[in-house]
């Protein structure tokens, strides 16, 4: 877990530097993400929220009745790239993502922060 947090923090520092240098587009994109695997009952939603908050991703995360987790995420292309890689690895040390599906949203919804939906 410490190694993972270190790598996330390193990516966040790199993002901040690239944003300050103006080498990153600031236009928001929005995606619906569905993950399957060992993603329920292992802290996946809570750690996804912590990750999203650190990366300034807005949206929500919720369990689905079929055992998957559904994520709505809004951020810049660079933020989303880092976020999707962290999600694919499983943000919780106990989670294992076996399938990852991503669909772009047609419009960018307004979210205030990132929330876990129960």
- Rounded to whole angstroms, how far apart are CA atoms 20 and 18? 5
Residues 51/8, Cβ–Cβ less than 8 Å: yes
Give the count of beta carbons closer than 10 Å to the beta carbon of residue 52. 28
Quick one: pLDDT at residue 11?
A: 57
**pLDDT at 5 exceeding the cut of 50:** no
Residues 96/90, Cβ–Cβ less than 8 Å: yes
pTM exceeds 0.75, yes or no: yes
Q: Which alpha helices (H) appear in 41-106, and where do they start and end? A: 44-55, 77-89
Question: Residues with catalytic annotation?
Answer: 45, 63
36 pairs with which residues across the strands?
99
- For the stretch 42-88, pLDDT in tens is 999 999 999 999 999 999 999 999 999 999 999 999 999 999 999 99
Domains, in order of start, for the chain: 2-106 (3.30.70.100)
């Amino acid at each position: 877990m410490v190694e993972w947090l270190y790598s996330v923090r390193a990516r966040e520092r790199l993002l901040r530097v690239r944003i300050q240098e103006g080498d990153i587009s600031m236009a928001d994109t929005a995606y619906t993400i569905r993950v399957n695997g060992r993603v329920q009952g292992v802290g996946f939603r809570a750690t996804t929220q912590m990750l999203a908050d650190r990366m300034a991703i807005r949206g929500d995360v919720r369990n689905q009745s079929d055992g998957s987790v559904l994520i709505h995420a809004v951020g810049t292309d660079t933020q989303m790239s880092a976020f999707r890689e962290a999600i694919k690895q499983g943000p919780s040390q106990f989670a294992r993502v076996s399938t990852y599906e991503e669909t772009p949203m047609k419009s960018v919804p307004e979210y205030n922060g990132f929330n876990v939906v129960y």
